[in-house]
Structure 1
Amino acid sequence: MSAVQIAPLQASDLAELAAAIRTDAVYAHLGGKAPAMQRFASGLQRALAGPPEHRRTERWLNYLVRAADSGQVLGQLQATVHDGIAEVAFLFGADSWGRGHASHGLRWLQQEVVRSCGPVDFWATAVPANLRCQALLARAGYVAVAPADAPRLLSYDDGDLVFTHRPPAA
């Protein structure tokens, strides 16, 4: 794996991020097709604006991942911290799959969440067909749980698989 740079996602990163991840190959793993650019852009703009007024106790963390050598955008990392938990997500362009970038990014994201928000339990969801995501989560120490055993997850859609990871105590 080549070195990566991780920095807060900015609105000015939108076009580069779209070029890297807004593809049918990537979105097939999410259970659909790549969204139109306007829908993609508005979703990222909502994420960057932060939680709505009625959910101000949440923290929305959004990061951009670049290759350190070339500066090429590889993908994004996200965490929504609420109610003592962190829901994590990652989305990387197909060109960077299988190179360890998402695994490295997920480890970094977990450390960043603990550093900035304190200790939490980590949760993630995946569509059943996304075997790559499930394998990455398993390698990172996440275990599958029944959706009924999970707390209220903002990222959960009916039919999703649910995973949790409780980091060892320091």
Structure 2
Amino acid sequence: MQSTRNPRLIFEPLRTDHLDALALELLRPEVLEYIEDDLPSLEDFRLGLSRAIAGPPPSRSDESWLNFLVRHAGTNQMLGRLEATVHDGIAEVAFLFGARHWGKGYATEGLAWLQSEVRHRWGVSGFWATTVPANLRCQALLVRSGYVEVTAPFPTLLSYGPGDLVFSSEMRT
């Protein structure tokens, strides 16, 4: 897949040669506050995303791991990343943007693009996301994007952890 764009953003498949520059945006305590207990080293950051880029192991061949870099269309600056894990007819989505870029609508635009891309390329219309209760910024973005909080029962979610809040959105064709 090649890069695509909207008027403000460029979306391209995440590659390992992006990781050092992306770390400058994302490897910060305020960005990873609700994801990591301790800030990972640059090496661990690279390793984790390199594994994600490589895709699922053979034992999970029924999954697709989609990882995208988001850039500003005017400056080409890296803003953050988007991901979706497609499995069992659903997509679990996530987004992570540098703190300097919060509050500008980039993540909202990015999530809308990701959902459209997944729907068109993989035929998925059910989207799911999880977050910890303390991550109010994430919850607000999901609600703005048409997600609603749901309680069990919900499908098996690979990103779910005990105590997480679960959100769902159904895209209509």
In the TM superposition, residue 120 of structure 1 has moved relative to its aligned partner by 2.8
Q: Deviations over 1:88-134 (max 9, x none)?
A: 00000000000000000000000000111003300000111110000
Partner-residue secondary structure (3-state), 1:35: coil
Residues 68-147 of structure 1 mapped to structure 2, 5 A cutoff: 68-146=73-151
Is the CA contact (8 Å cut-off) linking 1:88 and 1:122 kept in structure 2? yes
SS in 2 for 1:26: helix
Contact 2:132/2:163, CA 8 A, preserved across alignment: yes
**CA distances 1:42-87 after superposition (whole Å, capped 9, x unpaired):** 1101101100111111111100001111111100000000000000
1:26 counterpart residue number: 31
Look up the match of 2:153.
149
User: How many residues matched?
Assistant: 167
Look up the match of 2:162.
158
**TM-score, normalization by structure 1:** 0.94
Structure 1 segments unaligned to the other structure (5+ residues): none
Percent identity of the aligned residues?
A: 53
Aligned to 2:21: 16
RMSD between superposed Cα atoms in Å: 1.2
Separation (CA, whole Å) in 2 of partners of 1:22 and 1:95: 13
**What's the TM-score once normalised by structure 2's chain length?**
0.93
User: Which of 59, 62, 66 pairs up with 1:57?
Assistant: 62
* 2:3 corresponding residue in structure 1: none
Runs of 4+ in 1 over 4 A off after TM superposition: none
